[in-house]
Structure 1
Amino acid sequence: MNFRHLKFFVATAESGQVSRAATQLSISQSAVTSAIKELEAELGAPLFVRSAQGMELTEAGRDFLASSREILEKLDQAKRLTQKRSPVKGTISIAATYTVIGYFLPPHLDRLNQFFPNLDIRISELNRESIEEGLLSNRFDIAVVLTSNLNNPEIETQTLLRSSRRLWAANSHEFIRQGKATFEDISKQDYIMLTVDEAAHTTMRYWSLSAYQPNVRLRTSSVEAVRSMVANGQGVTILSDMVYRPWSLEGKRIGTAATDQGIPSMDVGLAWRKGIELSRAVNSVVEYFNETFLAPKSH
Protein backbone atom coordinates (compact mmCIF):
# COMPACT_ATOMS: atom_id res chain seq x y z
CA MET A 1 0.00 0.00 0.00
CA ASN A 2 1.28 3.47 -0.82
CA PHE A 3 0.01 7.03 -0.99
CA ARG A 4 -0.92 6.61 -4.64
CA HIS A 5 -3.42 3.88 -3.67
CA LEU A 6 -5.00 6.15 -1.06
CA LYS A 7 -5.17 9.15 -3.40
CA PHE A 8 -6.87 7.13 -6.15
CA PHE A 9 -9.27 5.52 -3.66
CA VAL A 10 -10.35 8.85 -2.15
CA ALA A 11 -10.86 10.43 -5.57
CA THR A 12 -13.07 7.51 -6.65
CA ALA A 13 -15.06 7.53 -3.42
CA GLU A 14 -15.73 11.27 -3.62
CA SER A 15 -16.60 11.34 -7.31
CA GLY A 16 -18.57 8.08 -7.41
CA GLN A 17 -17.04 7.00 -10.74
CA VAL A 18 -13.67 5.69 -11.88
CA SER A 19 -13.85 7.78 -15.06
CA ARG A 20 -14.45 10.99 -13.14
CA ALA A 21 -11.65 10.21 -10.67
CA ALA A 22 -9.28 9.53 -13.56
CA THR A 23 -10.16 12.86 -15.15
CA GLN A 24 -9.60 14.74 -11.89
CA LEU A 25 -6.22 13.05 -11.40
CA SER A 26 -5.18 13.35 -15.06
CA ILE A 27 -4.44 9.63 -15.32
CA SER A 28 -5.94 6.63 -17.10
CA GLN A 29 -9.02 4.79 -15.84
CA SER A 30 -7.04 1.54 -15.84
CA ALA A 31 -4.53 3.03 -13.41
CA VAL A 32 -7.33 3.91 -10.98
CA THR A 33 -8.99 0.50 -11.37
CA SER A 34 -5.71 -1.35 -10.79
CA ALA A 35 -4.88 0.70 -7.70
CA ILE A 36 -8.29 -0.02 -6.15
CA LYS A 37 -8.00 -3.75 -6.87
CA GLU A 38 -4.53 -3.82 -5.31
CA LEU A 39 -5.81 -1.96 -2.28
CA GLU A 40 -8.77 -4.33 -1.84
CA ALA A 41 -6.46 -7.34 -2.16
CA GLU A 42 -4.12 -6.02 0.52
CA LEU A 43 -6.96 -5.10 2.88
CA GLY A 44 -8.81 -8.34 2.21
CA ALA A 45 -12.17 -6.58 1.85
CA PRO A 46 -14.20 -5.02 -0.98
CA LEU A 47 -14.24 -1.23 -0.77
CA PHE A 48 -16.85 -0.58 -3.46
CA VAL A 49 -19.99 -2.10 -4.89
CA ARG A 50 -19.62 -1.71 -8.66
CA SER A 51 -22.63 -1.05 -10.87
CA ALA A 52 -23.56 0.62 -14.14
CA GLN A 53 -24.28 3.77 -12.12
CA GLY A 54 -20.80 3.96 -10.63
CA MET A 55 -18.90 3.04 -7.50
CA GLU A 56 -20.69 2.96 -4.14
CA LEU A 57 -18.75 2.50 -0.93
CA THR A 58 -19.22 -0.63 1.16
CA GLU A 59 -19.26 -0.37 4.96
CA ALA A 60 -15.55 -1.24 4.97
CA GLY A 61 -14.99 1.40 2.29
CA ARG A 62 -16.69 4.10 4.35
CA ASP A 63 -14.53 3.27 7.36
CA PHE A 64 -11.37 3.24 5.26
CA LEU A 65 -12.27 6.55 3.59
CA ALA A 66 -12.07 8.45 6.87
CA SER A 67 -8.64 6.99 7.64
CA SER A 68 -7.38 7.63 4.11
CA ARG A 69 -8.41 11.28 4.23
CA GLU A 70 -6.64 11.73 7.55
CA ILE A 71 -3.43 10.14 6.23
CA LEU A 72 -3.41 12.24 3.06
CA GLU A 73 -4.10 15.42 5.02
CA LYS A 74 -1.15 14.71 7.35
CA LEU A 75 1.06 14.06 4.32
CA ASP A 76 -0.04 17.35 2.76
CA GLN A 77 0.73 19.20 5.99
CA ALA A 78 4.19 17.61 6.14
CA LYS A 79 4.91 18.65 2.55
CA ARG A 80 3.95 22.23 3.31
CA LEU A 81 6.38 22.36 6.22
CA THR A 82 9.29 21.14 4.09
CA GLN A 83 8.57 23.13 0.93
CA LYS A 84 10.59 26.26 0.35
CA ARG A 85 8.42 29.29 0.89
CA SER A 86 8.62 32.14 -1.59
CA PRO A 87 9.85 35.56 -0.44
CA VAL A 88 7.38 37.28 -2.79
CA LYS A 89 5.61 40.14 -1.02
CA GLY A 90 2.77 42.46 -1.88
CA THR A 91 -0.98 42.64 -2.25
CA ILE A 92 -2.94 41.04 -5.05
CA SER A 93 -6.64 41.54 -5.76
CA ILE A 94 -8.42 38.53 -7.25
CA ALA A 95 -12.02 38.49 -8.47
CA ALA A 96 -13.97 35.24 -8.78
CA THR A 97 -17.48 34.12 -9.61
CA TYR A 98 -19.87 32.17 -7.37
CA THR A 99 -19.12 28.75 -8.85
CA VAL A 100 -15.36 29.25 -8.76
CA ILE A 101 -15.38 30.32 -5.12
CA GLY A 102 -17.72 27.52 -4.09
CA TYR A 103 -16.21 24.58 -5.95
CA PHE A 104 -12.69 25.40 -7.12
CA LEU A 105 -10.77 28.16 -5.39
CA PRO A 106 -10.66 27.46 -1.59
CA PRO A 107 -8.01 24.66 -1.54
CA HIS A 108 -5.82 26.69 -3.89
CA LEU A 109 -6.06 29.75 -1.68
CA ASP A 110 -4.85 27.60 1.21
CA ARG A 111 -1.86 26.36 -0.81
CA LEU A 112 -1.05 29.84 -2.07
CA ASN A 113 -1.00 31.03 1.53
CA GLN A 114 1.47 28.26 2.37
CA PHE A 115 3.73 28.99 -0.61
CA PHE A 116 3.55 32.79 -0.35
CA PRO A 117 3.08 33.68 3.34
CA ASN A 118 4.03 37.31 2.70
CA LEU A 119 1.51 37.77 -0.09
CA ASP A 120 -1.77 39.43 0.88
CA ILE A 121 -4.44 37.93 -1.41
CA ARG A 122 -7.77 39.75 -1.38
CA ILE A 123 -10.79 37.99 -2.90
CA SER A 124 -13.98 39.52 -4.27
CA GLU A 125 -17.00 37.52 -5.45
CA LEU A 126 -18.80 39.13 -8.39
CA ASN A 127 -20.69 38.22 -11.53
CA ARG A 128 -18.96 38.02 -14.90
CA GLU A 129 -19.93 41.51 -16.08
CA SER A 130 -18.64 43.16 -12.89
CA ILE A 131 -15.41 41.16 -13.06
CA GLU A 132 -14.80 42.22 -16.66
CA GLU A 133 -15.38 45.88 -15.73
CA GLY A 134 -13.08 45.51 -12.73
CA LEU A 135 -10.27 44.00 -14.81
CA LEU A 136 -10.51 46.69 -17.48
CA SER A 137 -10.50 49.48 -14.86
CA ASN A 138 -7.54 47.88 -13.01
CA ARG A 139 -9.66 47.36 -9.88
CA PHE A 140 -8.59 43.70 -9.94
CA ASP A 141 -5.17 42.31 -10.85
CA ILE A 142 -6.52 39.00 -12.06
CA ALA A 143 -9.67 36.88 -11.98
CA VAL A 144 -10.46 33.18 -11.63
CA VAL A 145 -13.59 32.64 -13.69
CA LEU A 146 -15.54 30.39 -16.00
CA THR A 147 -13.49 31.14 -19.10
CA SER A 148 -16.14 29.40 -21.23
CA ASN A 149 -18.39 32.39 -20.41
CA LEU A 150 -15.85 35.05 -21.41
CA ASN A 151 -15.69 36.53 -24.88
CA ASN A 152 -14.21 39.99 -24.38
CA PRO A 153 -11.42 40.92 -26.83
CA GLU A 154 -9.83 43.21 -24.23
CA ILE A 155 -9.37 40.38 -21.74
CA GLU A 156 -6.73 37.64 -21.88
CA THR A 157 -7.80 34.20 -20.65
CA GLN A 158 -6.02 30.99 -19.79
CA THR A 159 -8.11 27.86 -19.29
CA LEU A 160 -6.87 25.54 -16.54
CA LEU A 161 -9.42 22.74 -16.64
CA ARG A 162 -12.46 21.63 -18.62
CA SER A 163 -15.26 20.07 -16.59
CA SER A 164 -17.63 17.83 -18.57
CA ARG A 165 -21.38 18.34 -18.25
CA ARG A 166 -23.63 15.31 -17.72
CA LEU A 167 -27.25 14.51 -17.00
CA TRP A 168 -28.10 14.27 -13.29
CA ALA A 169 -31.02 12.20 -12.00
CA ALA A 170 -32.06 10.33 -8.88
CA ASN A 171 -30.06 7.12 -8.63
CA SER A 172 -33.22 5.02 -9.11
CA HIS A 173 -34.20 6.86 -12.32
CA GLU A 174 -34.41 4.87 -15.54
CA PHE A 175 -31.89 7.21 -17.18
CA ILE A 176 -29.28 6.16 -14.61
CA ARG A 177 -30.06 2.47 -15.06
CA GLN A 178 -29.71 2.88 -18.82
CA GLY A 179 -26.57 5.01 -18.52
CA LYS A 180 -27.70 7.32 -21.33
CA ALA A 181 -30.65 9.50 -22.34
CA THR A 182 -31.68 11.38 -25.46
CA PHE A 183 -32.60 15.05 -25.44
CA GLU A 184 -36.06 14.00 -26.57
CA ASP A 185 -36.48 11.81 -23.49
CA ILE A 186 -35.03 14.49 -21.19
CA SER A 187 -37.50 17.05 -22.59
CA LYS A 188 -40.38 14.89 -21.31
CA GLN A 189 -39.08 15.13 -17.72
CA ASP A 190 -39.38 18.01 -15.27
CA TYR A 191 -36.15 20.01 -15.49
CA ILE A 192 -34.46 21.85 -12.61
CA MET A 193 -32.68 24.87 -14.07
CA LEU A 194 -29.67 26.38 -12.30
CA THR A 195 -29.36 30.09 -13.02
CA VAL A 196 -26.17 31.20 -11.24
CA ASP A 197 -23.08 32.12 -13.31
CA GLU A 198 -25.15 32.27 -16.51
CA ALA A 199 -25.91 28.55 -16.26
CA ALA A 200 -29.42 29.02 -17.67
CA HIS A 201 -28.10 30.95 -20.68
CA THR A 202 -25.50 28.25 -21.37
CA THR A 203 -28.14 25.53 -20.98
CA MET A 204 -30.51 27.11 -23.47
CA ARG A 205 -27.66 27.66 -25.92
CA TYR A 206 -26.90 23.94 -26.29
CA TRP A 207 -30.57 22.95 -26.06
CA SER A 208 -31.24 25.25 -29.00
CA LEU A 209 -29.04 22.99 -31.14
CA SER A 210 -31.59 20.20 -30.66
CA ALA A 211 -35.23 20.00 -31.77
CA TYR A 212 -36.38 20.05 -28.13
CA GLN A 213 -36.68 22.32 -25.10
CA PRO A 214 -36.33 21.52 -21.38
CA ASN A 215 -39.58 21.37 -19.40
CA VAL A 216 -38.45 23.74 -16.66
CA ARG A 217 -40.15 23.11 -13.34
CA LEU A 218 -37.93 25.34 -11.18
CA ARG A 219 -35.30 28.02 -11.75
CA THR A 220 -32.93 28.55 -8.84
CA SER A 221 -29.51 30.07 -8.12
CA SER A 222 -28.84 27.40 -5.46
CA VAL A 223 -26.80 24.36 -6.49
CA GLU A 224 -27.90 22.60 -3.30
CA ALA A 225 -31.56 23.18 -4.18
CA VAL A 226 -30.95 21.60 -7.59
CA ARG A 227 -29.13 18.69 -5.96
CA SER A 228 -31.95 18.11 -3.47
CA MET A 229 -34.73 18.32 -6.06
CA VAL A 230 -32.93 15.90 -8.37
CA ALA A 231 -32.06 13.44 -5.59
CA ASN A 232 -35.69 13.39 -4.45
CA GLY A 233 -36.90 12.53 -7.95
CA GLN A 234 -38.55 15.91 -8.59
CA GLY A 235 -36.72 16.52 -11.83
CA VAL A 236 -33.48 16.10 -13.75
CA THR A 237 -30.76 18.54 -14.77
CA ILE A 238 -27.53 18.83 -16.72
CA LEU A 239 -24.55 20.23 -14.81
CA SER A 240 -20.79 19.93 -14.71
CA ASP A 241 -18.67 17.33 -12.97
CA MET A 242 -16.99 20.06 -10.91
CA VAL A 243 -20.18 20.78 -8.96
CA TYR A 244 -21.35 17.15 -8.89
CA ARG A 245 -21.60 15.31 -5.58
CA PRO A 246 -23.15 11.82 -5.37
CA TRP A 247 -25.31 12.74 -2.36
CA SER A 248 -27.87 15.42 -1.54
CA LEU A 249 -27.97 17.13 1.86
CA GLU A 250 -30.68 14.64 2.89
CA GLY A 251 -28.34 11.77 2.08
CA LYS A 252 -30.12 10.65 -1.10
CA ARG A 253 -28.09 9.38 -4.03
CA ILE A 254 -27.63 11.24 -7.33
CA GLY A 255 -26.43 9.48 -10.46
CA THR A 256 -25.14 10.75 -13.79
CA ALA A 257 -25.66 9.60 -17.37
CA ALA A 258 -24.44 10.51 -20.84
CA THR A 259 -26.60 12.21 -23.46
CA ASP A 260 -27.03 11.63 -27.17
CA GLN A 261 -25.96 15.17 -28.00
CA GLY A 262 -22.60 16.74 -27.31
CA ILE A 263 -22.62 19.26 -24.46
CA PRO A 264 -19.88 21.91 -24.09
CA SER A 265 -17.66 21.65 -21.04
CA MET A 266 -17.57 24.20 -18.24
CA ASP A 267 -14.08 25.71 -18.43
CA VAL A 268 -12.31 27.27 -15.45
CA GLY A 269 -9.26 29.49 -15.70
CA LEU A 270 -7.56 32.83 -15.26
CA ALA A 271 -8.32 36.22 -16.81
CA TRP A 272 -6.56 39.57 -16.87
CA ARG A 273 -6.61 42.76 -18.92
CA LYS A 274 -4.88 42.24 -22.24
CA GLY A 275 -1.64 44.11 -22.76
CA ILE A 276 -0.78 44.83 -19.12
CA GLU A 277 2.49 43.78 -17.51
CA LEU A 278 1.74 41.45 -14.61
CA SER A 279 3.55 42.21 -11.35
CA ARG A 280 5.88 39.70 -9.75
CA ALA A 281 3.20 38.84 -7.20
CA VAL A 282 0.55 38.23 -9.88
CA ASN A 283 3.01 36.22 -11.97
CA SER A 284 3.73 34.02 -8.95
CA VAL A 285 0.04 33.18 -8.66
CA VAL A 286 -0.25 32.54 -12.40
CA GLU A 287 2.79 30.25 -12.27
CA TYR A 288 1.29 28.32 -9.35
CA PHE A 289 -1.87 27.57 -11.34
CA ASN A 290 0.15 26.71 -14.45
CA GLU A 291 2.29 24.23 -12.54
CA THR A 292 -0.75 22.74 -10.83
CA PHE A 293 -2.93 22.26 -13.92
CA LEU A 294 -0.88 22.64 -17.09
CA ALA A 295 2.55 21.19 -16.28
CA PRO A 296 3.13 17.57 -17.42
CA LYS A 297 2.30 15.08 -14.68
CA SER A 298 4.03 11.79 -13.99
CA HIS A 299 2.45 8.91 -12.06
Structure 2
Amino acid sequence: MNITFRQIRYFIAVAEARSVSGGSSAVGISQSAVTDAIRTLEIETGVTLFHRHAKGVTLTREGHQFLRHARSIISAIADLAGGVGREGEETVGNVRIGVTPVVTGYFLTDLLSRFRKLFPKIEIALVEDKRSYVEHMLVGGELDLALLIVSNLEERDAIDHEVLLRSECRAWMAPSHPLSDVDGLTLGDLENEPVVALQLDELEGLIDGIWGKFDHPPRVAWRTSSMEGVRSLVGTGAGITLLPDLVYRPWSLDGDRIVAKRTRETLPTVDIGVAWRRLTRHSEAASLFMETVHQHRR
Protein backbone atom coordinates (compact mmCIF):
# COMPACT_ATOMS: atom_id res chain seq x y z
CA MET A 1 0.00 0.00 0.00
CA ASN A 2 1.47 3.34 -1.09
CA ILE A 3 -0.14 6.12 0.99
CA THR A 4 1.58 9.44 1.58
CA PHE A 5 1.42 11.95 4.43
CA ARG A 6 0.22 14.55 1.91
CA GLN A 7 -2.77 12.40 0.92
CA ILE A 8 -3.70 11.86 4.56
CA ARG A 9 -3.53 15.59 5.24
CA TYR A 10 -5.79 16.36 2.26
CA PHE A 11 -8.24 13.65 3.32
CA ILE A 12 -8.56 15.11 6.84
CA ALA A 13 -9.09 18.61 5.42
CA VAL A 14 -11.91 17.42 3.14
CA ALA A 15 -13.52 15.37 5.92
CA GLU A 16 -13.53 18.34 8.30
CA ALA A 17 -14.76 20.82 5.66
CA ARG A 18 -17.33 18.36 4.26
CA SER A 19 -16.43 19.49 0.76
CA VAL A 20 -13.52 19.22 -1.66
CA SER A 21 -13.54 22.97 -2.23
CA GLY A 22 -13.42 23.68 1.52
CA GLY A 23 -10.66 21.13 2.02
CA SER A 24 -8.57 22.54 -0.82
CA SER A 25 -8.93 26.05 0.65
CA ALA A 26 -7.83 24.80 4.06
CA VAL A 27 -4.59 23.28 2.71
CA GLY A 28 -4.01 25.89 -0.02
CA ILE A 29 -3.99 23.35 -2.87
CA SER A 30 -6.08 23.17 -6.03
CA GLN A 31 -9.30 21.15 -5.97
CA SER A 32 -8.05 18.87 -8.72
CA ALA A 33 -4.96 17.94 -6.68
CA VAL A 34 -7.09 17.21 -3.62
CA THR A 35 -9.55 15.17 -5.71
CA ASP A 36 -6.68 13.13 -7.16
CA ALA A 37 -5.28 12.49 -3.68
CA ILE A 38 -8.65 11.26 -2.38
CA ARG A 39 -9.16 9.05 -5.45
CA THR A 40 -5.69 7.53 -4.93
CA LEU A 41 -6.47 6.86 -1.26
CA GLU A 42 -9.66 5.06 -2.20
CA ILE A 43 -7.81 2.96 -4.77
CA GLU A 44 -5.04 2.10 -2.30
CA THR A 45 -7.42 1.22 0.54
CA GLY A 46 -9.97 -0.48 -1.68
CA VAL A 47 -12.92 1.30 -0.02
CA THR A 48 -15.11 4.32 -0.72
CA LEU A 49 -14.23 7.04 1.80
CA PHE A 50 -16.85 9.65 0.89
CA HIS A 51 -20.42 9.85 -0.31
CA ARG A 52 -20.48 12.53 -3.03
CA HIS A 53 -23.54 14.75 -3.40
CA ALA A 54 -24.45 18.15 -4.84
CA LYS A 55 -23.71 20.06 -1.62
CA GLY A 56 -20.39 18.42 -0.75
CA VAL A 57 -19.29 15.11 0.73
CA THR A 58 -20.00 13.01 3.80
CA LEU A 59 -17.87 10.23 5.22
CA THR A 60 -18.85 6.61 4.67
CA ARG A 61 -18.60 4.13 7.52
CA GLU A 62 -15.15 3.15 6.24
CA GLY A 63 -14.31 6.84 5.87
CA HIS A 64 -15.00 7.46 9.56
CA GLN A 65 -12.73 4.55 10.50
CA PHE A 66 -9.99 5.84 8.20
CA LEU A 67 -10.34 9.36 9.66
CA ARG A 68 -9.60 8.09 13.14
CA HIS A 69 -6.48 6.28 11.95
CA ALA A 70 -5.44 9.33 9.90
CA ARG A 71 -5.65 11.60 12.94
CA SER A 72 -3.61 9.11 14.98
CA ILE A 73 -0.91 9.21 12.31
CA ILE A 74 -0.87 13.02 12.35
CA SER A 75 -0.65 13.01 16.16
CA ALA A 76 2.22 10.51 16.11
CA ILE A 77 4.15 12.65 13.63
CA ALA A 78 3.48 15.73 15.76
CA ASP A 79 4.88 13.89 18.79
CA LEU A 80 8.05 13.05 16.89
CA ALA A 81 8.39 16.61 15.68
CA GLY A 82 7.98 17.84 19.26
CA GLY A 83 10.89 15.74 20.40
CA VAL A 84 8.97 13.58 22.85
CA GLY A 85 11.51 11.33 24.51
CA ARG A 86 12.42 9.60 27.74
CA GLU A 87 11.65 12.66 29.86
CA GLY A 88 7.93 12.17 29.23
CA GLU A 89 8.19 8.42 29.66
CA GLU A 90 9.75 8.82 33.11
CA THR A 91 7.31 11.44 34.47
CA VAL A 92 5.23 10.04 37.33
CA GLY A 93 2.15 11.32 39.13
CA ASN A 94 -1.62 11.12 39.01
CA VAL A 95 -4.45 13.29 37.73
CA ARG A 96 -8.14 13.11 38.63
CA ILE A 97 -10.44 13.98 35.74
CA GLY A 98 -14.20 14.30 35.71
CA VAL A 99 -16.14 13.61 32.52
CA THR A 100 -19.75 13.43 31.38
CA PRO A 101 -21.18 10.59 29.23
CA VAL A 102 -21.36 12.53 25.95
CA VAL A 103 -17.75 13.66 26.35
CA THR A 104 -16.65 10.09 27.10
CA GLY A 105 -18.34 8.73 24.00
CA TYR A 106 -17.47 11.40 21.45
CA PHE A 107 -14.37 13.29 22.56
CA LEU A 108 -12.28 11.60 25.23
CA THR A 109 -10.81 8.42 23.74
CA ASP A 110 -8.32 9.89 21.27
CA LEU A 111 -7.16 12.46 23.83
CA LEU A 112 -6.56 9.79 26.49
CA SER A 113 -4.73 7.60 24.01
CA ARG A 114 -2.40 10.46 23.15
CA PHE A 115 -1.74 11.29 26.82
CA ARG A 116 -0.99 7.66 27.75
CA LYS A 117 1.54 7.39 24.93
CA LEU A 118 3.28 10.57 26.05
CA PHE A 119 3.20 9.92 29.82
CA PRO A 120 2.71 6.20 30.45
CA LYS A 121 3.64 6.46 34.16
CA ILE A 122 1.06 9.09 35.03
CA GLU A 123 -2.04 7.44 36.49
CA ILE A 124 -5.41 8.78 35.34
CA ALA A 125 -8.44 8.46 37.61
CA LEU A 126 -11.63 9.07 35.60
CA VAL A 127 -14.94 9.89 37.23
CA GLU A 128 -17.95 9.87 34.89
CA ASP A 129 -21.20 11.38 36.12
CA LYS A 130 -23.81 14.03 35.39
CA ARG A 131 -22.52 17.53 34.79
CA SER A 132 -23.94 18.89 38.05
CA TYR A 133 -22.10 16.28 40.14
CA VAL A 134 -18.86 16.71 38.17
CA GLU A 135 -19.04 20.44 38.87
CA HIS A 136 -19.70 19.71 42.57
CA MET A 137 -16.60 17.49 42.77
CA LEU A 138 -14.50 20.05 40.91
CA VAL A 139 -15.46 22.88 43.27
CA GLY A 140 -14.90 20.60 46.26
CA GLY A 141 -11.33 19.82 45.19
CA GLU A 142 -12.04 16.14 44.52
CA LEU A 143 -11.05 16.54 40.85
CA ASP A 144 -8.09 18.27 39.22
CA LEU A 145 -9.80 18.88 35.88
CA ALA A 146 -13.05 18.14 34.12
CA LEU A 147 -14.02 17.66 30.47
CA LEU A 148 -17.65 18.56 29.89
CA ILE A 149 -20.04 20.77 27.96
CA VAL A 150 -19.03 24.16 29.32
CA SER A 151 -21.86 26.08 27.65
CA ASN A 152 -24.07 24.67 30.45
CA LEU A 153 -21.84 25.42 33.45
CA GLU A 154 -23.70 26.46 36.60
CA GLU A 155 -20.84 27.13 39.06
CA ARG A 156 -19.31 29.89 36.94
CA ASP A 157 -18.18 31.92 39.96
CA ALA A 158 -16.06 29.03 41.20
CA ILE A 159 -14.92 27.39 37.96
CA ASP A 160 -12.66 28.58 35.16
CA HIS A 161 -12.82 26.91 31.76
CA GLU A 162 -11.47 26.90 28.24
CA VAL A 163 -13.47 25.95 25.15
CA LEU A 164 -11.88 23.14 23.14
CA LEU A 165 -14.58 22.37 20.59
CA ARG A 166 -17.58 24.41 19.45
CA SER A 167 -20.13 22.11 17.79
CA GLU A 168 -22.84 23.51 15.50
CA CYS A 169 -26.39 22.19 15.79
CA ARG A 170 -28.21 21.01 12.68
CA ALA A 171 -31.51 19.37 11.81
CA TRP A 172 -31.31 15.60 11.22
CA MET A 173 -33.77 13.79 8.97
CA ALA A 174 -34.07 10.81 6.65
CA PRO A 175 -33.05 11.35 2.99
CA SER A 176 -36.65 10.53 2.02
CA HIS A 177 -38.03 13.38 4.13
CA PRO A 178 -39.76 16.06 1.97
CA LEU A 179 -37.56 18.77 3.54
CA SER A 180 -34.23 17.00 2.93
CA ASP A 181 -33.77 18.82 -0.40
CA VAL A 182 -35.09 22.19 0.76
CA ASP A 183 -32.58 25.04 0.68
CA GLY A 184 -32.84 27.72 3.34
CA LEU A 185 -34.55 25.46 5.87
CA THR A 186 -36.10 27.28 8.85
CA LEU A 187 -37.39 26.18 12.24
CA GLY A 188 -40.80 27.28 11.03
CA ASP A 189 -40.59 24.58 8.35
CA LEU A 190 -40.01 21.99 11.07
CA GLU A 191 -42.42 23.04 13.81
CA ASN A 192 -45.19 20.66 12.69
CA GLU A 193 -42.84 17.70 12.22
CA PRO A 194 -42.71 14.87 14.80
CA VAL A 195 -39.55 15.41 16.83
CA VAL A 196 -37.22 12.83 18.41
CA ALA A 197 -35.81 14.32 21.64
CA LEU A 198 -32.61 12.98 23.22
CA GLN A 199 -32.67 12.71 27.01
CA LEU A 200 -28.98 12.18 27.68
CA ASP A 201 -26.49 14.10 29.79
CA GLU A 202 -26.21 17.83 29.05
CA LEU A 203 -28.02 17.39 25.72
CA GLU A 204 -31.30 16.76 27.51
CA GLY A 205 -33.57 19.75 26.97
CA LEU A 206 -31.48 21.02 24.04
CA ILE A 207 -34.36 20.82 21.54
CA ASP A 208 -36.82 22.57 23.87
CA GLY A 209 -34.21 25.27 24.52
CA ILE A 210 -33.53 25.87 20.82
CA TRP A 211 -37.17 26.17 19.86
CA GLY A 212 -37.83 28.28 22.94
CA LYS A 213 -35.31 30.90 21.78
CA PHE A 214 -37.15 31.27 18.47
CA ASP A 215 -40.72 30.83 19.71
CA HIS A 216 -41.37 27.69 17.67
CA PRO A 217 -42.70 24.96 20.00
CA PRO A 218 -41.54 21.47 18.98
CA ARG A 219 -44.00 18.62 18.51
CA VAL A 220 -42.08 16.00 20.48
CA ALA A 221 -43.27 12.54 19.46
CA TRP A 222 -40.44 10.49 20.94
CA ARG A 223 -38.13 10.88 23.93
CA THR A 224 -35.22 8.49 24.41
CA SER A 225 -31.96 8.34 26.34
CA SER A 226 -30.39 6.23 23.57
CA MET A 227 -28.29 8.00 20.95
CA GLU A 228 -28.65 5.01 18.66
CA GLY A 229 -32.39 5.09 19.29
CA VAL A 230 -32.47 8.67 17.99
CA ARG A 231 -30.53 7.68 14.89
CA SER A 232 -32.79 4.70 14.20
CA LEU A 233 -35.99 6.71 14.60
CA VAL A 234 -34.71 9.53 12.42
CA GLY A 235 -33.20 7.17 9.83
CA THR A 236 -36.48 5.29 9.39
CA GLY A 237 -38.44 8.52 8.98
CA ALA A 238 -40.24 8.46 12.36
CA GLY A 239 -39.24 12.05 13.06
CA ILE A 240 -36.57 14.74 12.90
CA THR A 241 -34.22 16.06 15.58
CA LEU A 242 -31.82 18.91 16.32
CA LEU A 243 -28.42 17.84 17.63
CA PRO A 244 -24.78 19.00 17.46
CA ASP A 245 -22.32 17.84 14.81
CA LEU A 246 -20.27 16.30 17.64
CA VAL A 247 -22.66 13.34 17.80
CA TYR A 248 -23.67 13.21 14.13
CA ARG A 249 -23.13 10.02 12.14
CA PRO A 250 -24.62 9.61 8.64
CA TRP A 251 -26.21 6.22 9.39
CA SER A 252 -28.00 4.25 12.08
CA LEU A 253 -26.86 0.86 13.36
CA ASP A 254 -29.26 -0.72 10.86
CA GLY A 255 -27.65 1.20 8.02
CA ASP A 256 -30.41 3.78 7.49
CA ARG A 257 -29.03 7.05 6.14
CA ILE A 258 -29.33 10.33 8.04
CA VAL A 259 -28.79 13.79 6.57
CA ALA A 260 -27.99 16.91 8.62
CA LYS A 261 -29.09 20.34 7.42
CA ARG A 262 -28.33 23.84 8.65
CA THR A 263 -31.20 26.20 9.36
CA ARG A 264 -31.44 29.87 8.48
CA GLU A 265 -31.55 30.65 12.17
CA THR A 266 -28.21 30.66 13.95
CA LEU A 267 -28.67 27.90 16.49
CA PRO A 268 -26.83 27.75 19.83
CA THR A 269 -23.58 25.79 19.74
CA VAL A 270 -22.65 22.98 22.11
CA ASP A 271 -19.22 23.81 23.54
CA ILE A 272 -16.95 21.14 25.00
CA GLY A 273 -14.16 22.40 27.21
CA VAL A 274 -11.74 21.71 30.03
CA ALA A 275 -12.62 23.16 33.43
CA TRP A 276 -10.87 23.57 36.77
CA ARG A 277 -11.53 25.14 40.19
CA ARG A 278 -10.73 28.84 40.16
CA LEU A 279 -7.38 29.84 41.71
CA THR A 280 -6.18 26.23 41.62
CA ARG A 281 -2.46 25.59 41.28
CA HIS A 282 -2.18 22.58 39.00
CA SER A 283 0.07 19.64 39.79
CA GLU A 284 2.70 18.67 37.25
CA ALA A 285 0.51 15.80 36.03
CA ALA A 286 -2.52 18.06 35.61
CA SER A 287 -0.41 20.68 33.82
CA LEU A 288 0.90 18.03 31.41
CA PHE A 289 -2.66 16.89 30.73
CA MET A 290 -3.61 20.49 29.95
CA GLU A 291 -0.68 20.78 27.54
CA THR A 292 -1.79 17.58 25.82
CA VAL A 293 -5.33 18.98 25.55
CA HIS A 294 -3.95 22.07 23.79
CA GLN A 295 -1.89 19.94 21.38
CA HIS A 296 -4.92 17.74 20.70
CA ARG A 297 -7.07 20.77 19.91
CA ARG A 298 -4.49 22.10 17.43
**Aligned-pair identity (%):** 32
1:217-228 correspondence runs (5 A): 217-228=221-232
Partner residue in 2 for 1:6: 8
Partner residue in 1 for 2:111: 108
Contact 1:170 1:233 in 2 (8 A): yes
Partner residue in 1 for 2:253: 249
CA distance in 2, matches of 1:16, 1:291: 20
User: Are 2:285 and 1:281 equivalent residues in the alignment?
Assistant: yes
Contact 1:169 1:231 in 2 (8 A): yes
Q: For the aligned residues, what is the CA RMSD? A: 3.4
Aligned mate of 1:259, from 258, 263, 267? 263
Aligned-partner residue type, residue 5 of structure 1:
Q
CA distance in 2, matches of 1:132, 1:193: 25
Q: Could you state the TM-score of these two structures normalised by the residue count of structure 2? A: 0.83
Aligned-partner residue type, residue 34 of structure 2:
I
Partner residue in 2 for 1:51: 53
Partner residue in 2 for 1:17: 18
Matched position secondary structure for 1:272:
strand
Structure 1: which 5+ runs fail to align? none
Contact 1:148 1:268 in 2 (8 A): yes
Partner residue in 1 for 2:243: 239
**CA positional deviation for 1:10:** 5.5
CA distance in 2, matches of 1:194, 1:30: 39
1:70-89 correspondence runs (5 A): 83-85=84-86, 86=88, 87-89=90-92
Q: Could you state the TM-score of these two structures normalised by the residue count of structure 1? A: 0.82
Aligned mate of 1:177, from 173, 181, 188? 181
Distance of aligned partners of 1:32 and 1:269 in 2 relative to their CA distance in 1, 3 Å threshold: farther
**CA positional deviation for 1:198:** 2.9
Distance of aligned partners of 1:89 and 1:50 in 2 relative to their CA distance in 1, 3 Å threshold: same
1:60-209 correspondence runs (5 A): 83-85=84-86, 86=88, 87-152=90-155, 153-209=157-213
Matched position secondary structure for 2:274:
strand
Partner residue in 1 for 2:234: 230
CA distance in 1, matches of 2:189, 2:230: 19
Partner residue in 2 for 1:211: 215
Distance of aligned partners of 1:210 and 1:43 in 2 relative to their CA distance in 1, 3 Å threshold: closer
**CA positional deviation for 1:56:** 5.4
